[in-house]
Amino acid sequence: MRRMGWVCAVLLVVLVGTSLERAGDLGAADPAGASVPASAHDSFTVTRAMTMNDPTRHRGTIARQLRTYIEHTPSGATISILSFYLSSSITWPALRAAYQRGVHVRAVLYGGPAGTPMAGVSSEGVKLAELIRQGRDHGRRGSWVVWTRRTARGVDATGTVMHAKVWQFSRVGRTRKVTMIGSYNNGDPPDARAYSAMVTLTDPRLYADAQSMFVAAAKDRRDGRNPQRRFSGDGWDLYYFPSTPITPENDPVLERLQSIPGNADTRMVISMYSMQGRRGAWLARRLAAMVERGAHLTLVVGPDVSGSVVRTLGRAGATLEDGCWRTGRKRSPYAYTHDKEMTATWVADGVRHHAAWIGSDDWGNGSGGSQSDQATIGLYSTWAYQRLTRLLAPQIAHEPDRLGRCDPL
């Protein structure tokens, strides 16, 4: 892969080898007496939501949402974090307070080529690991941090990473089994620079399926011959990478695009940080064929979308929007899309359908996409389509559209 954005930053930092906790009790049950209390005084509830971090107008929105959920997680409940890194000054105080009041905090974080704590990137992750280590010294159990060596469930090739972004809460206020999935890296730098989204759902089956992948990732070893996994439920489907190999025959994104008619009744919006390599090419060819048959496509071109993809879609007649803009700010000179999101509406058998997809999968076959840990969910509802369409609108409305290159770091 030509450039991997945040991954490049990760691979350049100095690895810090202290405060590693390998979670010897990964499969252990919560300690006796740690059941979730009734918490009748906490009337807070969670409903479905979709949120976008907008670095130009509403930075930190997702971090504050996470903070609220963490603050309403009662003692004895569990927070499960599958994240590239943790470096948010907004969520860290809430996580620390939650652990101190008896919440179990379990995290699987990227640990670089050596699988060790990365203070230069995952600064709050290192603090969390140290906090948990101190608790274990005093007999506290039920919390842990795993630093993966490159991927969690795949082949540890050069440049592969634990890139998924999934937060789960066994209970928030009065609501049980809360799952958040999306493209948001939890940190102050992405809050300041990157558009990214998360969807929050309270589906028990989704919670269980995502938990199964969290447990597998915490083992930090290859999960079968091909670790690609798929799940589905009422109004949603979900896939997890790595996929080794990734081919046109097993690519869930190509399967998605082939299921959508390529005609004038179809409208698609894609905001994509990275689209390149062989996989990016076959997806671009399918999209181009759909556009040439009358479908309307708007693509927000992120910093790592290859020139060949831009040319293929531009020649077909797609609307191309700039996904990297100068801000005029000294400390964060660029704002850019870190989204890997898509909306679509189409007609099949005389019925109009609506869908939205949100997750961490960059559309490439390299280390930033199919070879690394990813999670992407498809939502088949008018609500999801309309909500994500509204959240993507500021990126599409931004002018001018020069499609200039930028370094988001």
pLDDT digits (tens, 9 = 90+) for 270-324: 999 999 999 999 999 999 999 999 999 999 999 999 999 999 999 999 999 999 9
Strands, E, within 68-218: which ranges? 78-83, 86-87, 104-110, 144-148, 166-172, 175-182, 186-187, 194-201
Residue 352, Cβ neighbours under 10 Å: how many?
10
CA distance 102 to 143: 10
CA separation, residue 90 to residues 42, 66, 86, 177, 188 (Å) = 22, 9, 11, 23, 8
Is the bond preceding residue 242 a cis peptide, omega within 30 degrees?
A: yes
* pLDDT value of residue 406: 76
Q: Is 191:55 a contact under the CB 8 Å cutoff?
A: yes
pLDDT for 409:
65
Dihedral sign for Cα atoms in the order 84, 179, 153, 247 = negative
For position 309, what pLDDT does the model report? 97
* pLDDT at position 4: 42
**First-residue to last-residue Cα distance in the chain:** 17
Q: Mark the ranges of the chain whose per-residue pLDDT is less than 70.
A: 1-41, 409
CA atoms lying within 13 Å on the CB side of residue 82: 33
Dihedral sign of CA atoms 63, 65, 67, 73 in order? negative
260 with 266: CB under 8 angstroms?
yes
159-176 tens-digit pLDDT: 999 999 999 999 999 999
Q: Helices (DSSP H) in 159-276: which residue ranges?
A: 188-193, 204-218, 252-259
C-alpha 64/C-alpha 48 separation (Å) is: 16
What CATH number does the domain located at 229-397 have?
3.30.870.10
Q: Which CATH class is domain 6-23+45-218?
A: alpha beta
Considering the chain, tell me which residue range(s) the CATH 3.30.870.10 domain(s) occupy: 6-23+45-218, 229-397
